[in-house]
Structures are given as structure tokens and as C-alpha cells.
């Protein structure tokens, strides 16, 4: 029994070293396993480094041309969301600037703006924004709404002061109920801080799956009917080859994870409230499940490029069904349950709660146990996939 165990360990070590060498020699796989992780993590994080859209260019149509209308225009320009780059006289001019891409929105101040305010008659300001680009539209609308509410508050307070009220009384009457807003876990409300931590996990998963598939397809191309297995392999030796290959992938991707999940987080200032030990306890079953899944499906690819085509085709679906870009509760139950085939589907919410909210592992115990179950299931699938390949070898 001991000799059998030692022989298995020796074989595991041999396959571990052989797989590392194969990865290093294969330029395409090395590009995916190392260079792609570095490039994607830095490029995407840099693209979203501004976090929020600021100073969106807008045009103002001032049909009143009074002191109050100019004051309102200045208040719009003073918001962090908007920048008044043009003051035009007609909607036609504003439309031309909008369609030319010079402005992202239009603010229309109507005639009799000041007169209606002094008469105590409600007036309105029209905001036109590009709703086809939701982030731009949201910033245009929120900036104009903030300027409008601030301007309205000033008008009401001035009326109360003119009526003899003290400043404290005027403020209390204007806002009898105040609201305090606390931005938890993403203080800047940044898009990069929201998107990138989960997106990096999908990048890790998809590059690993594609790379393992490419390795399997390459071996089939070079050694027909070998199915990634060496000649003379026995059934009892399947586990060591799976463990050896997986060990090589784990070593590479743990190093990748240190770069992508620690250094990139630090460089770009993404929210981080986690203990690193908790992060890696989550990461290990995730990477194991992805590695075993990759080995299980790698026997299906007859050519190197097949894995690239198939898994790249799946990548958008993995992202959209992960609950990262759209709330999981709003995804049809059938599709979201189907997405649990991929380890990233439960890893992403668990990782985000641990990393950005600072919860303990006991709070993500369901996700952790589920991923451990995936490790077992995908190992069994990989074992029987390799066993089937072995039977094909013997028959041929």
C-alpha cells in the first residue's frame, strides 16, 4: 500500500513538472496563463480608473436671459457631473451640437422663468439627455436634478427670510426632514470598484479553461488517439496525472491571483476589507474546480483552436449570467441555475462579500461548500473522461 502511494506521488510529481514545461513551451498557452492575466487586469482597471463620469458637456438654452436664469445656469455648470460648454439661442442649435457629439445633454430654461418665480407660480426646466447611453444619461439627469433642487431651496429660503423668519427657521421649514446617505463598501460609487473585482475572477476562470482546452487539443493534434495520456498508462494511474496537471495549473494561477487580486487591487484602490487568508481559502476550491472542469472538457477538443472558439463563445454568457452586470434575482431562474455549472457564478458574490464588505467565511459558507462540491464533481468527471480516453487508446 505504501509503495503504491509513493509510486502515485512520484507520478504526480513527474506529471506536474511535465505540465509546467509544456505550458512554458507552448507560446499560446503561456500567453493566456501569464501575459493575458497581466494585460487584462491592468488594461481594464486603467480604463475604469476614473470610476465615475464627471464634467459631462451640456448646452444651455436660456430663453429668459434674466439674473435668476443665469444664476441657475451657473449652478448647473458648478455641479461635478456637468460642464456647460455651450449657450445657444434655439433648440435647433442645441440639436446640431447634440448630433455632432459636442454635447451629451441640453438644459432648456423657459421664458418667464424669473417672472414666474417671483409670482410664486411653479415653473419647470426641461432636461434632454442621451438615454441610449445609460451612464451618460444618469449623470446628466442627476447633475441637473441636484442643481435644480439646490436652486429651488435657495428661492424658498429667501422667500421665508423676506417674510421675517430667521435663517434657522427658514432652513427647518424648507427641509423639515433631512436625509443622511451613507455609501457603504463603494464610497466613490465608482464603476471600476463595482465591476473589476468580479470581472478579474471571470478572466481567471476563462483563461484557465481555454488554456487547458488548448493543451488537450494540441496533444490530440500531435499524437493521434492519445487523448492527453501517455502510452502504457493503467487505470490506477489516472488520478496522478490529473493531480499533477492540476498542481501545475494551481501554481501558475495562484501566482496570477497574487498579481491580479492583490497588487492590482492595491494599485487602483479597489475596496478591500478582507483578510487575505479568507480570500485564498475561497480561491483554492474555485481554482481547483475550474482546473478539474477544464481537464474534464479538454478531451472533447480534437484541435487546438476548438477550445478557443467554444469557450470564447461562452465567455459573454458567463459574464451576463454571473449576476455581476445585472442582479441575479432579475435573471430568469432557469438561466441562473444553469450558470451554476461555472464555478464563477457563486464565487463572485462570495468573493465580493468577503473582499468589499469584510464578512467572514461563515457568512459565505453555502458558496464555499457548493464550490467544494464542484471540486468533487469535476474531479470525478475528469477521471471518467480520462478513463474513457484510456479505453479508446487500448482499442486503437
pLDDT of amino acid 225: 46
Distance CA 128, CA 120 (A): 25
pLDDT of amino acid 246: 96
Distance CA 17, CA 162 (A): 84
pLDDT of amino acid 347: 96
Distance CA 298, CA 209 (A): 9
What's the CATH code, domain 56-174? 3.40.190
Angle (CA) 12-230-223 rounded to 5° is: 140
pLDDT of amino acid 160: 65
**Mean pLDDT, contiguous 10-residue spans, the chain (396 residues):** 74 90 91 94 90 89 92 92 91 91 92 87 88 87 89 75 65 66 79 89 95 86 55 67 94 95 91 90 96 92 83 87 87 92 95 92 95 97 86 65
pLDDT of amino acid 341: 95
pTM for the complete prediction? 0.86
pLDDT of amino acid 234: 55
Residues 172-198 as b/e (b if ≥16 CB within 10 A, e otherwise) read eebeeeeeeeeeeeeeeebbbbbbbbb
Domain with CATH 3.40.190 in the chain: 56-174
pLDDT of amino acid 171: 62
Task: Tell how strand 105-109 and strand 126-129 pair up.
Answer: antiparallel
Amino acid at each position: 500500500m505504501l509503495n503504491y502511494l509513493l509510486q502515485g506521488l512520484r507520478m504526480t510529481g513527474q506529471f506536474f513538472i511535465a505540465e509546467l514545461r509544456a505550458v512554458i513551451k507552448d507560446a499560446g498557452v503561456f500567453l493566456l496563463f501569464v501575459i493575458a492575466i497581466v494585460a487584462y487586469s491592468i488594461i481594464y482597471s486603467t480604463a475604469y480608473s476614473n470610476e465615475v463620469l464627471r464634467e459631462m458637456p451640456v448646452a444651455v438654452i436660456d430663453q429668459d436671459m434674466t439674473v435668476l436664469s443665469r444664476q441657475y445656469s451657473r449652478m448647473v455648470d458648478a455641479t461635478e457631473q456637468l460642464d456647460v460648454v455651450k449657450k445657444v439661442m434655439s433648440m435647433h442649435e442645441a440639436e446640431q451640437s447634440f448630433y455632432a457629439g459636442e454635447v451629451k445633454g441640453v438644459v432648456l430654461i423657459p421664458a418667464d422663468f424669473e417672472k414666474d418665480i417671483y409670482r410664486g407660480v411653479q415653473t419647470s426646466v426641461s432636461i434632454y439627455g442621451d438615454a441610449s447611453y445609460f451612464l451618460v444619461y444618469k449623470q446628466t439627469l442627476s447633475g441637473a436634478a441636484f442643481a435644480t433642487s439646490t436652486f429651488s431651496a435657495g428661492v424658498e429660503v429667501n422667500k421665508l427670510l423676506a417674510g421675517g423668519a430667521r435663517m434657522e427657521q427658514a432652513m427647518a421649514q424648507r427641509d423639515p426632514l433631512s436625509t443622511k446617505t451613507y455609501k457603504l463598501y463603494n464610497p466613490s460609487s465608482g464603476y471600476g470598484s463595482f465591476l473589476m473585482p468580479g470581472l478579474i475572477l471571470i478572466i481567471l476562470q476563462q483563461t484557465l479553461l481555454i488554456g487547458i482546452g488548448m493543451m488537450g487539443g494540441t496533444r490530440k493534434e500531435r499524437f493521434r488517439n492519445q487523448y492527453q495520456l501517455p502510452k502504457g498508462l493503467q487505470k490506477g494511474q489516472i488520478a496522478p496525472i490529473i493531480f499533477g496537471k492540476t498542481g501545475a495549473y494551481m501554481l501558475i494561477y495562484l501566482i496570477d491571483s497574487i498579481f491580479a487580486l492583490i497588487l492590482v487591487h492595491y494599485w487602483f484602490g479597489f475596496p478591500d476589507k478582507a483578510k487575505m487568508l479568507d480570500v485564498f481559502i475561497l480561491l483554492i476550491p474555485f481554482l481547483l474546480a475550474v482546473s478539474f472542469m477544464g481537464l474534464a472538457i479538454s478531451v472533447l477538443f480534437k484541435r487546438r483552436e476548438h477550445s478557443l472558439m467554444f469557450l470564447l463563445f461562452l465567455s459573454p454568457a458567463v459574464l451576463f449570467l454571473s449576476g455581476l452586470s445585472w442582479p441575479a434575482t432579475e435573471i430568469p431562474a432557469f438561466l441562473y441555475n444553469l450558470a451554476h455549472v461555472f464555478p464563477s457564478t457563486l464565487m463572485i458574490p462570495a468573493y465580493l462579500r468577503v473582499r468589499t464588505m469584510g464578512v467572514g467565511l461563515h457568512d459565505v459558507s453555502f458558496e464555499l461548500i457548493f464550490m467544494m462540491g464542484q471540486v468533487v464533481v469535476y474531479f470525478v468527471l475528469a477521471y471518467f473522461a480520462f478513463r474513457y480516453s484510456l479505453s479508446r487508446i487500448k482499442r486503437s
